[in-house]
Structure 1
Amino acid sequence: MAGDQGDGKVEQQASPRVLIVGAGPAGLSLAIELGQRGIACLVIERNDRVGYAPRAKTTNVRTREHLRRWGIADRLRAASPLGVDYPSNVVFCTRLAGVELARHENAMYCAPGRNPLYSEHAQWIPQYTVEGVLRDHAQSLPGVQIRYCCELLDLSQDADGVRTRLRDLSGGAESSVRADYLVGADGARSRVRDLIGTRMLGEYGLSRNRNIVFSAPGLDRAHRHGPAIMYWQVNRDAPSLIGPMDRGDTWFFMPTHVDAARHAGVADERALIARATGIDLPYQVLSSDEWVASKLLGDRYRKGRVFLAGDACHLHPPFGGYGMNMGIADSVDLGWKLAAVLQGWAGPGLLDSYEAERRPVHQWVMDEAERNHAVLGNQLLADGIEDDGERGQRIRREVGGRIQAAKMREFATLGVVLGYQYEDSPVIAAESGPCPARDFINYVPTSRPGALAPHAWLHDGSSLYDHFGQGYTLLAASASLDDIAAARADARRAGVPLTVIQPAEGAIASLYPARLTLIRPDQHVAWRGDAWPGEGVLARACALSLHPQRGA
């Protein structure tokens, strides 16, 4: 950059179509969604994203289905530091050296193997590893640029685009970048959110907690509970979560509801780990930070050509593993819509559906996360839980029963992960009748408009999702040739990319009872029916204004 802050010059940079502020999982996922659709974008990040202590460790089945669609699910699988066959058990115990209270096996659905309900199993993997896979793929796309140590100073917008003022933190030089749209994926302390005046509503400070990453050679062999991804320790020394995180005997330790005033540094943290686990080892603290659990939702996700995604517009406790995954899902929803508008096969009104679709999902997930946060080790404590003899055994049985009943909601959540629906979206052809009741655990596939298109494995070993197109897909297993021809002709006239598939497997008919099902680029159902109704269905799905002569 030629200009610098000292001489007052501001260099004008080449214009991307979309400027993304934030190179975390949400920002990188948006760059991939746009880049794979040929939309030039610039990602800026004020940090270097190196050495960040992870909080997110669960990449759920829906996120991995997006990675499959992007062609990088296998890369994330190969990057798993513990191996994909490592059991995703969650063990509740008094302490690592103590007595088991309860356990949940295959938590989050991480077990490899084919499940008829989804195309990709979940994965227990540090967020920084996920970011590395996303970053490498984003940087391989020709239209994607990522600029680290670069911060957003200011923005303004008009009817044609957004103008920003940026600063290079390594040298202080300023530059000006203009883009068609800007997306703030810049986290809980979002600068973009402040600039567009979005307010976070809800409750701040549900609890204060610490996230400590440490090295502990031999800790995996120093207890008798077997391999697990998390051990919840229920004792009076330090109600906490602890578990393996990475190669090199790297673990995380998360004491919950901590008193910040009593924190006394690394030596105290080493002693706290020893007390909480009951195992004395030469613990080496690698990083430590305090984090605050809150329940906050932005009062709006958009101002003109500026949007918010991820933690910039919704914050909730991490219990249930929803946070990072929700941010990635935001970017998928917004990404294909921005691309459609910029490529001219959707109207600007399509972008209005982003908040209409995602905000109700965020509210549901926030409520689920808050319920999970309400039952931590602090709430599970009972007098005498570590006592010897019959009394201690009885108390531990009672606590174990409470754990099995209360924590299933946190570790068996397929109904939340796959069951959300965009029933009230303006671009969904909603059907009459009540929407199926929400169920956090039981996911029942449905091809009702707004729902995620049901998954199936085909006889050649591929997933049904593998055959969906990058634009809209018309699943027409039992449709007439005339209806298929009419749909193709209408899509050509409207300029909407349409892929027609006709799977022959008999099981498809039970999942897709209508003769025709129109599926969006994000794999949600837009419409279904037994006869093609004309191009009006595409006009609604893409927020297009059709020419009057077409009978719109």
Structure 2
Amino acid sequence: MSELHERVDVVVAGAGPVGLMLACELGLAGVRVTVLERRTDIDQTIKAGALNHPTLQALDRRGLSPKLAEAREATLARMAEFRRMQAEAAAAKQAAQQADQPAGQPGVQQTQAGRPEQRPVKFVGHFGGLLLDGNNLDPADPDIAGEARLGTLGMVGQQQLEAILEERAIELGVDIRRGVTLTSFEDHGDRVVITTDQGVLEAGWLAGCDGGRSTVRKLAGFDFPGTDPEITAYQAMAEMTDTDGLEPGWHITPTGVYAFGPMPGRVLVAEFGGAPTDRTSPVTEAELEGAVRRVTGVPVTVTGIKTCTRFTDNARQVPVYRQGRVLLAGDAAHVHSPFGGQGLNLGVGDAMNLGWKLAATIAGWAPEGLLDTYTAERHPIGAWVLNWTRAQIAIMRPDPHARAIRAVVEDLAGTVDGTTYLAKRISGVWQHYDLAGDHPLTGRSAPELELSDGSCLPDHLHAGRTVLFDFSDDAELRAAAGEYADRLTVVTANAAGSELRALLVRPDGFVAWASEEPGAGDLPKRLADFLG
């Protein structure tokens, strides 16, 4: 980087999934973006391992589902290897037990760990380590049915997603600079001057997507209220011996919680007693081994660590996501325990919401206050996630009161209504924004309608523009949209099985207006609300 000032529209601090997603959204709109990342390559530390429904929808709406499908196959292959290893270990153990039987005494036929044979569990997530069985989902629930098309793509890890997004960002002309550290900045009201260890840049805007210990958040002076941590936890891909006592899946123990699998060598343990005293130095084999033994009671030996991270349940959120020309997204704006991979998915949602609004502001056509709706729409969802993770920590505690509450939650989670409720909340299908309008679809994610031209509604969102779907070939609708032709696409086609006559979909895939009546109705006002 030159020592001379360079001028771009937006500098994004952080090339994790949130920063890269935001950069892709801005690049798609023709915004000049530079991403600064202190790491020289993608961080391979084990992190989130699954994508929820809003994230899958966002990526599908940008044409990235084929890439997700490829990544998913690699993940499933690793999971199959873990199942194979567990089956071989169980068979060897059973053979050894039978060999020890006195001659003529029949062996005991039973399933692993002596449990009676049951139908296979269809894993759809967990709440505080309580596994949710998809066999209990209510098939009549419309939100459950709506997940069918994308639900199989969710098993994609964070590093896989980052690679997909980095490739896409480069295709869109985003300037990604690795090995560069942001050291300071000044917000001058009309621009931000950013100093790095390799030079100075000027930008119209600075977006802090630099994680839970965000330099941007700290330097800008954002308040960061919340609750203090209770746990020290480790997640690792490790080489271990003497693991016979470790059961696959999530398990509560007298001292904490652990999970084993679904990948070979993957283990997670959480014990209560406060945050880790050391958050920066590499986790040693002895440290991980001690934690696994204390929580599981199994005398495993850790012989090698491929990747390991410490984490805790510090839960904090900035009151506003924007100060002047500085914006925050992802963990820079909110931190919490990572159980369920909520942080990755929450951050991608932030990026999708912010991207088109910031691009519209830069282009000069955004109506008054549009950028401030970023905080208004995303802060409540972030606050919900913080409380969702706090509730999980509460039922993981080893004290008698928490274990009593856990038993009640476990009973409820085993019912059809309980499983459906928890799975829907985890999946994110409930998420919506409070937008003006009376139609029940307004403010919700657009339905994935099949259209008469053979396409699906998300196919028309790849360009990141607002789209008016005219399902009734209505000239009045098209006339209302005419003055916005530079930033609005009109699609005229029938929607099979739908009573909708028209649907206005924002660039992030959320419905801004819907109608089952002929004519434009109040469409002109809705267009003016966010297209200027």
* TM-score, normalised via structure 2 length: 0.77
Q: Which amino acid aligns with 2:186?
A: S
Distance 1:293 1:500, change over 3 A: same
Distance 1:223 1:347, change over 3 A: same
- For 2:267, which of 230, 252, 265 is the aligned residue? 252
Q: Is the 8 A contact 1:65 1:119 kept in 2?
A: no
Q: Which amino acid aligns with 1:70?
A: R
Q: Is the 8 A contact 2:235 2:266 kept in 1?
A: no
Distance 1:504 1:281, change over 3 A: same
Aligned counterpart, 1:7 = none
Query: Partner of 2:429: helix, strand, or coil?
Result: helix
Aligned counterpart, 2:432 = 421
Does 2:163 align with 1:153?
no
Matches within 5 A, 1:330-479: 330-347=350-367, 349-376=369-396, 378=398, 401=411, 404=414, 408=419, 412-413=423-424, 417-423=428-434, 428-431=435-438, 447-458=440-451, 462-468=455-461, 470-478=464-472
Query: Partner of 1:176: helix, strand, or coil?
Result: strand
Query: Partner of 1:293: helix, strand, or coil?
Result: coil
Aligned counterpart, 1:140 = 171
Aligned counterpart, 2:338 = 318
Q: d(CA) in 1 for partners of 2:409 and 2:373? A: 45
Which one has more relative contact order, counting CA pairs under 8 Å at least 6 apart?
2
- For 1:233, which of 247, 251, 257 is the aligned residue? 251
Query: Partner of 1:350: helix, strand, or coil?
Result: coil
Q: Is the 8 A contact 1:187 1:310 kept in 2?
A: yes
Shift of 1:270: 3.3
Distance 1:17 1:472, change over 3 A: same
Does 2:518 align with 1:488?
no
Query: Partner of 1:82: helix, strand, or coil?
Result: helix
Q: Which amino acid aligns with 1:498?
A: T
Shift of 1:191: 1.1
Which runs of 5 or more structure 2 residues have no equivalent in the other structure?
A: 84-89, 91-111, 126-131, 135-143
Query: Partner of 1:212: helix, strand, or coil?
Result: strand
Aligned counterpart, 1:541 = 530
Aligned counterpart, 2:87 = none
Q: Which amino acid aligns with 1:267?
A: A
**Percent identity of the aligned residues?**
27
Distance 1:217 1:402, change over 3 A: farther
Distance 1:241 1:61, change over 3 A: same
Aligned counterpart, 2:314 = 294
Query: Partner of 1:198: helix, strand, or coil?
Result: coil
Q: d(CA) in 1 for partners of 2:481 and 2:333? A: 38
Aligned counterpart, 2:6 = 14
Q: d(CA) in 2 for partners of 1:366 and 1:382? A: 19
Aligned counterpart, 1:163 = 193
Matches within 5 A, 1:86-105: 98=113, 105=122
Distance 1:528 1:82, change over 3 A: closer
Q: d(CA) in 2 for partners of 1:187 and 1:353? A: 22
Aligned counterpart, 2:234 = 210
Q: d(CA) in 1 for partners of 2:381 and 2:409? A: 32
Distance 1:415 1:401, change over 3 A: closer
Q: Which amino acid aligns with 1:266?
A: E
Name the structure where helix makes up a greater proportion of residues.
Answer: 2
Superposed CA deviations along residues 447-506 of structure 1, whole A, max 9, x for unmatched, are 5321112223457764322134632112221363x31331232323xx43232332241x
Query: Partner of 1:327: helix, strand, or coil?
Result: helix
- For 1:47, which of 20, 39, 46 is the aligned residue? 39
Aligned counterpart, 1:59 = 51
Shift of 1:223: 8.2
Aligned counterpart, 2:30 = 38
Q: Is the 8 A contact 2:18 2:329 kept in 1?
A: yes
Superposed CA deviations along residues 197-251 of structure 1, whole A, max 9, x for unmatched, are 11111202142222232135997xx6897xxxx6112333663122234xxx342
Query: Partner of 2:388: helix, strand, or coil?
Result: helix
Aligned counterpart, 1:434 = none
- For 1:527, which of 494, 513, 528 is the aligned residue? 513
Q: d(CA) in 1 for partners of 2:133 and 2:36? A: 32
Does 2:209 align with 1:181?
no
Q: d(CA) in 2 for partners of 1:151 and 1:294? A: 25
Which runs of 5 or more structure 1 residues have no equivalent in the other structure?
A: 3-10, 91-95, 169-174, 384-395, 432-445, 545-552
Aligned counterpart, 1:435 = none
Q: Is the 8 A contact 1:320 1:410 kept in 2?
A: no
Aligned counterpart, 1:72 = 64
Q: d(CA) in 1 for partners of 2:366 and 2:402? A: 58
Q: d(CA) in 1 for partners of 2:37 and 2:272? A: 31
Aligned counterpart, 1:306 = 326
Does 2:124 align with 1:107?
yes
* TM-score, normalised via structure 1 length: 0.75
Query: Partner of 1:32: helix, strand, or coil?
Result: helix
Shift of 1:407: 8.3
Superposed CA deviations along residues 146-183 of structure 1, whole A, max 9, x for unmatched, are 11121112212234321111113xxxxxx110111110
Q: Is the 8 A contact 1:206 1:295 kept in 2?
A: no
Q: d(CA) in 2 for partners of 1:104 and 1:198? A: 45
Q: Is the 8 A contact 2:330 2:350 kept in 1?
A: yes
Q: d(CA) in 2 for partners of 1:199 and 1:519? A: 34
Query: Partner of 1:186: helix, strand, or coil?
Result: coil
Q: Is the 8 A contact 1:42 1:147 kept in 2?
A: yes
Aligned counterpart, 1:198 = 222
Q: d(CA) in 2 for partners of 1:65 and 1:297? A: 25
Q: Which amino acid aligns with 1:155?
A: F
Shift of 1:115: 5.1
Q: Is the 8 A contact 2:28 2:464 kept in 1?
A: no
Distance 1:209 1:487, change over 3 A: same
Query: Partner of 2:181: helix, strand, or coil?
Result: strand
Superposed CA deviations along residues 10-43 of structure 1, whole A, max 9, x for unmatched, are x124322110001111001111111122222000
CA RMSD of aligned residues (A): 3.9
Decide which moves more: 343-352 or 453-462.
453-462
